[in-house]
Amino acid sequence: MQDSLDPTSSALTALAASLPPSVKVALAQGADASSKVLVVQLARAQKRNALDDITVLALAAVFDSLPPGVGAVVLEGEGEHFSAGLDLSELSERDIVGGIAHSRLWHRIFENIQFGRVPVVAVLKGAVIGGGLELASTAHIRVAEVSAFYALPEGQRGIFVGGGGSVRLPQLIGVSRMMDMMLTGRVYDAQAGQEMGLSHYLVEAGKGLEKALELARRICANVPTTNFAVMHALPRIAASDPAAGYLTESLMAAIAQGDEEAKRRIRDFLAKRAGKVAAPE
């Protein structure tokens, strides 16, 4: 982890002490003194941060026990890679029933990342492969470094995605492109991944964490009710029929507008105490 990250607070200390060596956590400053960004690092660099059950269960523990005051999470990988996916040594002794249970375990844990308490910004670099790409797709914002490359080698391994990729990835890149990646083993580089929607931001090598923290601090500055609506309501509205979507949108808009912090911000804007949106430089 970088020296600028501050692993403090009793809650963070207790959480960090409970985790295996394959997952590390630290706090970074949020939008102000009252908010924090939790940096979660996959720490199996010697295995390109491949995901074994110990690591995935540790991620579950982290997202179940976010320290107070955390407004966003940054998820990154130690070393040169984000994650090369499932540690295939974990498949050796698993029968069909066990395979189903294992997949459903990943589903529950990844669901709690996507639909958790706070937004997640992922830093993608090097290998973002198989289960690593499935994990990345749970994040709400993805920052890719130019070294990132994407693949779904399950077809060549004789297996199938099992961490929710067949649900999340077609929403990002389409069913046809996912079929191509699985059937042919096609690998996309960072620029292609940016163009097709696997990442939202593309930055130079070594700049991913810096950009992710910048974005996470912006997220922390939002009203929590709005962040909740964007995380939980928006994807469900998009997946629903239009009539249900419009109704859910109306309900969520009313809830957000009723928040006292939202009312204060609207008053500040009308009184010209808040800045207007400007064109990008």
Is 154 a known active-site residue?
yes
Q: Are 124 and 143 in contact (CB under 8 A)?
A: yes
β-pairing verdict for 70-77 and 36-42: parallel
Phi-psi region of 238 (alpha: psi -120 to 50; beta: other; left: phi over 0): alpha
Bridge partners (DSSP) of residue 51 are 86
- Helix residue ranges, H only, the chain: 10-18, 53-64, 96-114, 131-136, 154-157, 165-173, 175-184, 190-196, 208-220, 224-228, 234-239, 242-257, 260-270
Q: Among 69, 64, 83, 63, which residue's Cα sits nearest to residue 132?
A: 83
Check residue 2 and report its DSSP letter: -
Amino acid at 47: K
Side-chain half-sphere exposure of 213, counting CA atoms within 13 A: 18
Is 134 a known active-site residue?
yes
| Catalytic site residue from 154, 204, 260, 281 | 154
Check residue 275 and report its DSSP letter: P
Q: Which residue has the tokens 């999470």?
A: 73
Cβ within 8 Å of residue 248, ≥6 positions away: 233, 236, 237, 240
| Catalytic site residue from 134, 145, 195, 261 | 134
The C-alpha atoms of residue 85 and residue 248 are separated, in whole angstroms, by: 36
Cβ within 8 Å of residue 96, ≥6 positions away: none
Active site residues: 134, 154
